[in-house]
Structure formats: C-alpha cells, structure tokens
C-alpha cells in the first residue's frame, strides 16, 4: 500500500511542484504547497499575505506561526482527510517538531536530489502562469506564445524570487535551514532518496516506488 501522507523534500527548483501536479491527479490527493498558499494570500491582499511578502521577496523563510496558520486551515478541508502531498513544508526542524506536536502525520518523506548548478539554471529560467500555476522554462520549455499560458491563456511571468540574487539566497537558506531535515527524517526511517536530475517520467516512477517501498 502506497503512503498517502507524505512530504516532497528538496531544494527550490528540484521539481517538487511539477511532480506534485501529476501525483495529485493520479493519487487523488491534494497538494499542500505553503509557497502557493502564501502567494495566494498575497494576491488576495490578506494581513497574513502582507506580513509574509517581505520575507518571500528576500528569499527568507516566513515565520513559523504564519505558516501553521495557513497549513492548519488547509488541512482542515475535507479533501485532506484521506491524505496529502506536502510541498515546501516543513522547511526547518522547528516546523517538523511543531507538526509532530500538532498531530500532523507523515508516513513517508521523499527527498528529490538535484545538483546545485542545475537548480540555478532551472530557477532562473522558470516562468509561471499567474492564473493556473503551470510552469515553463524560458529555454527548455517555453510557452507557444511568449508570456501566454498554453493551458489557460493566463499571463506567464518570472516569479520575483526567481531572479539570480534571490535564488542564491534561497539555496543558502535551504542548505542552512531545510537540509537538516534529511538527517531528521532519516533517523526515524521515513526518508527515501530519489534522483531528481532525470527525466520527469523517470523521477515520477522513482517517487511512486519510494511511496510504496
């Protein structure tokens, strides 16, 4: 039986969002991406969104209290009762400890490993649809019409935090704050490693194996 409450762990640009999209439709589980929830809060102009924006634009982590407010609200929705794909959360050991305290269960943690040089190229070329969140790459996977989403016709642009300077800051934050989660989940036996530097198809197959093994 496949794990149904799991974390996709990995640096920014590892392909967590891309893989989540397919996992959502194949497994029928919701993807809970704290980055997407934060971007939606900003777009909606909520107080939480306003508090988060400075941290996000600087490539820093948003305070844990704000993250738990968003996550708890999302997990309380009916579609999360049978399981969930956590993407970009937890982001540090304090969040992982707090999850355990709040009874947010995780059966499996899938670590997507990609070399740092590839992450920089992926992130700086990444373009995202502001409407449906489909992702493209300026060179490797451009939209058919520049700036227009192939899927929904929405406006496709670069995320503010995908610029070279902020990308290097985000990778530093990952190394310092998030990567200790690898040892954390390894020690409890729930971690599985996947080579994220393969084709989307191969990575997907490895994730499915990691969820069942």
Pairing, β 126-129 against β 156-157: antiparallel
Which CB, 59 or 196, lies closer to ligand AMP?
59
Which CB, 56 or 104, lies closer to ligand AMP?
56
- The torsion angles phi and psi of 101, rounded to 5 degrees, stand at -60, -35
Among all residues, which ones are annotated catalytic?
Answer: 16, 91, 126, 159, 170
User: C-beta of 55: minimal distance to ligand AMP in Å?
Assistant: 5
Distance, in Å, from the CA atom of 48 to the CA atom of 18, rounded to the nearest integer, reads 26
**Residues in a beta bridge with 87:** 8, 33
Listed residue (54, 83, 68) closest to 161, CA to CA: 54
Instruction: Find the residue with minimal CB distance to ligand AMP.
Output: 35
CB 207 within 8 A of CB 19: yes
Q: Based on the shown chain and the rule CB under 6 A, indicate whether residue 85 belongs to the binding site for ligand AMP.
A: no
Q: Based on the shown chain and the rule CB under 6 A, indicate whether residue 49 belongs to the binding site for ligand AMP.
A: no
CB 125 within 8 A of CB 158: no
Q: Based on the shown chain and the rule CB under 6 A, indicate whether residue 56 belongs to the binding site for ligand AMP.
A: yes
Which of 10, 15, 35, 196 touches ligand AMP (CB under 6 A)? Answer: 35
Q: By the criterion CB under 6 A, which residues form the site for ligand AMP? A: 12, 34-35, 38, 55-56, 59-62, 67, 88-91, 95, 161, 170
């Amino acid at each position: 039986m496949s794990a149904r409450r799991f974390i996709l762990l990995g640096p920014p640009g590892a392909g967590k969002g891309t893989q989540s999209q397919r996992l959502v439709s194949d497994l029928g589980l919701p993807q809970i991406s704290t980055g997407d929830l934060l971007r939606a809060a900003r777009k909606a102009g909520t107080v939480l969104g306003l508090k988060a924006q400075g941290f996000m634009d600087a490539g820093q982590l948003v305070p844990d209290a704000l993250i738990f407010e968003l996550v708890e609200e999302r997990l309380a929705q009916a579609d999360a009762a049978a399981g969930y794909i956590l993407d970009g959360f937890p982001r540090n050991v304090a969040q992982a400890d707090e999850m355990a305290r709040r009874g947010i269960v995780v059966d499996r943690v899938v670590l997507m490993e990609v070399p740092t040089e590839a992450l920089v190229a992926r992130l700086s070329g990444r373009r995202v649809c502001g409407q449906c969140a489909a992702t493209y790459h300026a060179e490797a996977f451009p939209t058919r019409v520049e700036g227009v989403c192939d899927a929904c016709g929405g406006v496709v642009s670069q995320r503010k935090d995908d610029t070279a300077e902020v990308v290097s800051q985000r990778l530093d934050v990952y190394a310092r704050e998030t990567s200790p989660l690898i040892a954390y989940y390894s020690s409890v036996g729930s971690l599985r490693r996947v080579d994220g530097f393969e084709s989307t198809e191969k990575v997907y197959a490895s994730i499915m194996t990691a969820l069942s093994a």
